[in-house]
Structure 1
Amino acid sequence: MRCFRALALAAVVLAATLVAPPPALAVTTHVYPATRDTYANASSPNTNYNSQRQLAVAGSPDRISYLTFAVTGLTEPVLHAVLRMQTLDTSNAGSSDGGHVFLVGSSWSETALTYANRPAPTGPSLAAIERVKPDTVHDINVTDAIRGDGVVSFGIFSTNTDGAYYHSRENNKAGPALLVYTGVPGTDDTVLLAAGDIADCRSDRDEQTARVLDAEVGVIAAIGDTAYEKGAPEEYAACYAPSWGRHKARTRPAAGNHEYLTPNAAGYFGYFGAAAGPPDKGWYSYDLAGGQWHVVVLNGNCAQVGGCHAGSPQEQWLRADLANSPARCTVAYWHQPLFASGGRGNAAYRPLFQALYDAGVELLLNAHNHQYERFAPQKPTGAADPDRGVRQFIVGTGGRSLQPDFPTVAPNSEVRNGSVHGVLRLTLFPGEYRWRFVPVAGQTFNEVGTGLCH
């Protein structure tokens, strides 16, 4: 463990360095149209529906859709796979439950399948399609079903009487497809490792979270309050550099409030250099996943950078940056949260959140509260919005002391933990993301999930 004496001896000013962008990822996309598809209807148990231009999924009476794909030509590891379905453009094609996807046996015949002889699922549900809208493409994560070349069959089941209707392969332009993405797993460009509230010379907890980073590939989002107590040059040298600092070359930081306890956050900008953005601003952006994902880093210290209100320099820059990005998927981060169950949520960030929401941004990462919290997608007002909302995470678990209490549970808060240090790992795929909280050695907190881009 480091001590105060090391801090007192390390009065150095570190020169600025330029951090190169993370390497581009070479991903190969394989597209396989369905070779067979049909559905079965419990109300007509002996009828075959092979010739229909639609696939029906519903309950009471059961309507179950079946699809087969022939996967060939895979020479690299599978990174990700999605079943792509498009709903019909009729008003009744949408549903609050698009169905659950299961693997089924592949011995069925498209021209002979009926409800009476339908194949049964061969394992647990692979994915829930959840809400679907008419005339909309839906990508369903079926990565766990693809192991390499071979024939794979899916069944889509639902107990919801509000049926969902998809195009069948008889519609050549909108029929079902299986998309398989291959490449080198764990490439830096597809993983973002995030936490804030990090280095303190009075403990070794930041060294514990740094050991998590030692075992993980990816770009590191250090979400503020990186060196306590005031982000001074000597604190970066004695506290941050020996732990998270060994990963400095792949770190993209955001400024916290403690950094500005040193005038103009000079220690922070001096340590991270160009990687922290212009010293008079502290906001910047970059791309990941071969350009499939855009990342925006903002400065939540509003008073020091001209405000965070609508029309402020930062808010105007943010809107322009988002408008100019061709990426479908976007994640943003800054230190202090708008929404929080542990207190300290700040309405000053609503205009920034509004800009994210208006641009269809998927994810927002914050810290400041020394806790972990995940929210459902929501509007800037705090109202739930599963279709277009921004999903917010608080990851103030990087090493500083934890705050176990959550005085009031905020609306849309889904998961909370104030007793475990660790790092949030986001794996970024084309059109989708996965999250996993990786706790430090000796601690346990299982928090995983997936989401689709807007």
Structure 2
Amino acid sequence: MPRSRYAAALVLAILAGTLTFAPPVRANGNFVFYPTNDSHVSASAPNSNFDNQPVLAVAGSPTRISYLKFSVTGLLDPVIHARLRIHVSTIPDSGSRTGGTVQRSGTGWLETSLTYANRPALIGSPLGAYGQVTANTWYDVEVTAAVINNGIVSFGISSADANGAYYDNRESGSTAPQLLVETGIPGTGENVLLAAGDIASCDRDTDEQTARILDREPGTVAALGDLVYEQGTPAEFANCYGPTWGRHKARTKPAVGNHEYLTADAAGYFGYFGAAAGRPDEGWYSYDMPAGGWHIIVLNSNCSKVGGCHVGSPQERWLQADLAANPARCTLAYWHHPIFSSGDRERAELLPLFQALYDADVELLLTGHAHQYERFAPQTPTRVDDPVQGIRQFVVGTGGRSLQPDFGTIVPNSEIRNGTTYGVLKLTLVPGIYQWRFLPVANQTFTDSGAGTCH
């Protein structure tokens, strides 16, 4: 509905007393818990208690296991993610080529009496493992499977490697262990979108690291352009993109980037994805996520390749028709180039498309191209902060190719930025609500999360 007609209808409904408002949405919550007990045990001293030691030790010869116990309280919504974050000590030889494997453990122990002889059992399959660790560095492991609700949770960290690691304990102040818990909207494969661009290259393995996030996360994959470097040839798609993100080709809904067009007519891209990428002379299409009640629009930001993006261009006319034919309450769009960015030049030629999205009350725009992560507040096409009807844009050029740590002048309405972490943006989409979370690759700690409601 055009904005003027929407406003008029809203006023009439209020005057008639027929308008009802949904109750406010409880946004997702982020909780930090610190250990109530922690210590380690050693097979070389089975009856000794090490609570007076300044570190937590993990090793395989002699066997040393560290235990951490937390009291989780105050959770009102379902747990979405939980991470055990620990800090490698600065004492000599704290780092290790193997940081240890995390499992659940029994909870009936106290740090003041814990010994190897009375240690609690480690329970079930490993939750995750710390790889090689370096002194004076934070490391995370996903432990969501162990944090179901409020209550006591206990972890054991063990290693078969004789080369032990040492971690700070709960008496260490700002470097004490943490259990980071996020609650909010439960996600399933049917209402989750996983997004990133600027992804694969045969001369590095960081795209494999982001592909491992997709391996564990169900959902539709929104690949935001520049999917393979350098020229998007058929061979590069087969040999460089295929072995990593290509593992999830069947659930991928791609957008075309500028590197794809370094091969004439983006033939490598359209040949690889086929009908899933739209018509080769267009590169735009739309689809629905019925479980969440969302309509998704994929556009081609390479305007010069498709007859322009101006008002009356083939793409702009198609977009207007698609918006009119799909009046979903919640709509999301994505293309490759950012229209707003603190790390890359902005593209005025895309404003007519952005204006059409804004006029139709679209909620979100996802982009790549700048090899960074940046989140914007909802805003108008003229950069005015607009929390009621504005479009929130994300730049997610963190798929694996390379990163740009430096930002230029911070542009209006930019809320958060990171140029040093590869990862994937996870969007959970349910009727009337969206929730976002940036998922970093293993052993990286930057994240960003929040929630919003549809217009």
Q: Which residue of 2 aligns with 1:340?
A: 341
Q: Does 1:224 align with 2:108?
A: no
CA contact (8 A) 2:201 2:228 kept: yes
Amino acid at match of 2:360: A
Partner amino acid, structure 2, of 1:366: T
One-letter amino acid matched to 2:367:
N
Give structure 2 stretches of 5+ with no counterpart.
Answer: 1-12, 29-74, 79-184
Q: Is the 8 A contact 1:343 1:408 kept in 2?
A: no
Shift of 1:189: 1.7
CA distance in 1 between partners of 2:231 and 2:287 (Å): 27
For residues 139 and 234 of structure 1, the distance between their equivalents in structure 2, rounded to whole angstroms, comes to 53
Is 1:425 aligned to residue 356 of structure 2?
Answer: no
Tell me the residue number matched to 1:140: 24
Partner of 1:376: 377
TM-score normalised by the chain length of structure 1: 0.61
Cα deviation code 1:64-83 (max 9, x no counterpart): xxxxxxxxxxxxxxxxxxxx
Aligned partner letter, 2:254: P
Q: CA 1:267 to 1:420, structure 2 compared with 1: closer, same or farther past 3 Å?
A: same
Aligned partner of 2:438: which letter?
F
Counterpart mapping for 1:169-180 below 5 A = none
Q: 1:403 to 1:139 in 2, by over 3 A?
A: farther
| C-alpha separation in 1, matches of 2:215 and 2:267 | 28
Aligned to 2:388: 387
Q: 1:432 to 1:291 in 2, by over 3 A?
A: closer
For residues 205-230 of structure 1, the C-alpha deviation after alignment (integer angstroms, 9 at most, x for no partner) is: 00000001001000000000001001
State the alpha-carbon separation in 2 of the partners of residues 349 and 428 from structure 1.
25
Q: Secondary structure at the match of 2:237?
A: helix
Does residue 447 of structure 2 align to residue 446 of structure 1? yes
**What's 2:365 paired with?**
364
* 1:80-110 deviation digits (Å, cap 9, x = unpaired): xxxxxxxx958xx9xxxxxxxxxxxxxxxxx
**Partners of 1:289 and 1:420 in 2: CA distance:** 32
Please give the secondary structure, in 2, of the residue aligned with 1:265: helix
Task: Count residues in correspondence.
Answer: 289
Secondary structure of residue in 1 paired with 2:217: coil
SS at match of 1:323: helix
Kindly provide the amino acid, as one letter, of the partner of residue 409 in structure 2: T
CA distance in 2, matches of 1:354, 1:272: 29
Q: Could you tell me how far 1:136 is from its partner in structure 2? A: 5.9
Which AA in structure 2 matches 1:314? Q
Give the Cα separation in 1 of the matches to 2:203 and 2:354.
35
Distance 1:202 1:301, change over 3 A: same
* Alpha-carbon separation, structure 2, partners of 1:186 and 1:135: 30
Contact 2:292 2:431 in 1 (8 A): no
Q: Distance in 2 between matches of 1:453 and 1:268?
A: 33
Assess, with a 3 A threshold, how the Cα gap between structure 1 residues 138 and 406 changes in structure 2: closer, same or farther.
farther
Question: What amino acid is aligned across from residue 249 of structure 1 in structure 2?
Answer: A
SS, match of residue 190 in structure 2: helix
- Say which SS state the counterpart of residue 188 (structure 1) adopts: coil
| Alpha-carbon shift at residue 146 of structure 1 (Å) | 6.0
TM-score w.r.t. structure 2 length? 0.61
Alignment match, 1:349: 350
Q: CA deviation at 1:187?
A: 2.7
Measure the CA separation in 2 of the matches of 1:302 and 1:369.
17
**Does the alignment pair 1:435 with 2:319?**
no
RMSD: 2.0
8 A Cα contact 2:191 2:292, kept in partner: no
Partner deviation per Cα, 1:329-383 (whole Å, 9 max, x = no partner):
0000000011000122111110000000000000000000000000000001111
1:303 is matched with which residue?
304
Query: Can you list the C-alpha shifts for 1:138-161, whole angstroms capped at 9, x where unaligned?
Result: 4422486367xxxxxxxxxxxxxx
Runs of at least 4 residues off by over 3 Å? 142-147
| 1-structure distance, mates of 2:388, 2:293 | 20
Q: Is the 8 A contact 2:292 2:430 kept in 1?
A: no
